Structure 1
Amino acid sequence: MTRELVAAACRVLAARGLTDGLLGHVSLRADAERLLVRCRGPRERGLADTEPSDIRLVTLDGAEGAPGELDGYVPPNELPLHTEVLRARPEVRAVVHAHPPATVAADLAGLAIRPIIGAFDIPGARLARGGVPVYPRGVLIRDRSLAAEMVSAMAECPVVLLRGHGLTSAADGVERAVLQTISVDRIAALALAVRAAGGQLTDLPDADLAELPDLGAGFNVDVAWRHELARLGERGHPSWLDSSP
């Protein structure tokens, strides 16, 4: 189910408006030297129409991960964005690169991702409380040198914003990496709305943040992911999305 999972993640990102057209990609570590990643093929139609056949096995250096694996498919130009995270952080299994408009706009407006929310999105509040760093270069991360700069800016955080570009999210699984992306963009959109309404952004008090319960991965990841797949099903996407990873 791994190719299906990565393909579903691409479609979730598109359905949530976090990628546009051909932009963005998702990867999943296969082993120490290889990863599954969304590639562009001869019938490229964009992330919203990603199928399991678009997910290909490649090495960390971008070569075929198995004989005939690419077969007309091309890894993303920004493959180093994925592979350098996987090289530097062995605990990471999945990487998402997306171009969420609200996230980009908020960063350009000087609005950091801060814990301005509480029970509205508990995982998002916890993520924001830890701080979300920014890689300040709006470049295409297409070589290991630029990717290393991004990884350095990211440090041990789960998400890094890419100025004028998007974000990179890393996690122990594809589902969490996607859900982190959704949470960050939700906070960014709220920050923009508050400022547009003339309000001030205020961090939730530490006492309130400490009071937020940890509802566990069963709810924060498993149930949340089933919801994202259900949203896709309502849009008439293929039946393979109905299978829970």
Structure 2
Amino acid sequence: MTEFPQERQLVSDACRVLAARGLAEGFLGHVSLRVDDSRLLVRCRGQQERGLAWTSPEDIRLVDLDGAAAAAGELDGWSVPNELPLHTEVLRTDPEVKAVVHAHPPSVVAADLAGLAIRPIVGAYDIPGAKLAAGGVPVYPRGVLVRNRTLAQEMVAAMAGRPVVLLRGHGLTSSGGSVQEAVLRALSVDTLARMALAVVSAGGRLVDLPPEDLAELPDLGPAFNEGVAWRHELARLG
């Protein structure tokens, strides 16, 4: 537990953000961060598991890509997620990915089951979310526990190089070049799902943002899109 204290804090904070935002309100869901070619930090379950909202750096353990302890004592009293392959297969497939989020947002599950795709229905309301949706958010159509490499490879194939994939009847998997980016992408997808459900529930029709409006949306840069946005999420935790 002496290695990577700042990184463990970051992954712990990310789990708490997911819980606070309603994407992982119970004890299901996890976040991982690649620390080198063969090891990652991942939220594990201890003997006193209470849920993601109460995640601490102690819950973040160092493991290898096969789920074995990557240092002495790392898994004493902790177990890796059943769906660790979901994380490791994404990391194995794309070396640019540094972090993976798996969560169970009810609105995302409900929207998908209702046949509502994640579409760029908003503009400046959520610029990164609009651009993410415009590029496509695919669906892995099996409502299974992604607990082995075969299933994880199926999920990655469905992901088709996109940073986020919905898991039918299950949740989502989000990836990024940082923990912050992976979490914020998941939040944007959840926002779009909730917006779609609200529009349809009000009797409205989902309409994509016109291409000329999408093209007009600026890239406000990582200092704003990640830096300010992440500080806001941490401040919300209190």
Calculate the TM-score normalised by the size of structure 1: 0.95
1:208-245 CA distance string (max 9 Å, x none): 00000110000000100000000001xxxxxxxxxxxx
- Given the alignment of the two structures, is residue 52 of structure 1 paired with residue 57 of structure 2, yes or no? yes
How many pairs were matched up?
233
- Given the alignment of the two structures, is residue 179 of structure 1 paired with residue 184 of structure 2, yes or no? yes
**What is the DSSP-based 3-state SS (H/G/I as helix, E as strand, rest coil) of the residue aligned with 1:69?**
coil
Counterpart in 1 of 2:24? 19
Q: Which amino acid aligns with 1:120?
A: Y
Counterpart in 2 of 1:75? 80
Gaps of 5+ in 2: 1-5
**What is the DSSP-based 3-state SS (H/G/I as helix, E as strand, rest coil) of the residue aligned with 1:167?**
strand
Structure 1 segments of 4+ aligned residues over 6 angstroms from their partners: none
Mapped to 1, the partners of 2:26 and 2:231 lie a distance apart of 24
Q: Which amino acid aligns with 2:144?
A: V
* Corresponding residue to 2:172 among 162, 167, 175: 167
Q: Which amino acid aligns with 2:186?
A: T
Counterpart in 2 of 1:203? 208
- Given the alignment of the two structures, is residue 230 of structure 1 paired with residue 235 of structure 2, yes or no? yes
Counterpart in 2 of 1:236? none
**What is the DSSP-based 3-state SS (H/G/I as helix, E as strand, rest coil) of the residue aligned with 2:225?**
helix
Offset at residue 20 of structure 1 (A): 2.5
Counterpart in 2 of 1:85? 90
Counterpart in 2 of 1:34? 39
- Given the alignment of the two structures, is residue 118 of structure 1 paired with residue 138 of structure 2, yes or no? no
User: Contact 2:18 / 2:25 at 8 angstroms: preserved in 1?
Assistant: no
Mapped to 2, the partners of 1:65 and 1:148 lie a distance apart of 23
Q: Which amino acid aligns with 2:81?
A: P
Q: Which amino acid aligns with 2:91?
A: L
Offset at residue 109 of structure 1 (A): 0.2
Mapped to 2, the partners of 1:66 and 1:81 lie a distance apart of 22
Mapped to 2, the partners of 1:165 and 1:29 lie a distance apart of 24
Gaps of 5+ in 1: 234-245
Calculate the TM-score normalised by the size of structure 2: 0.97
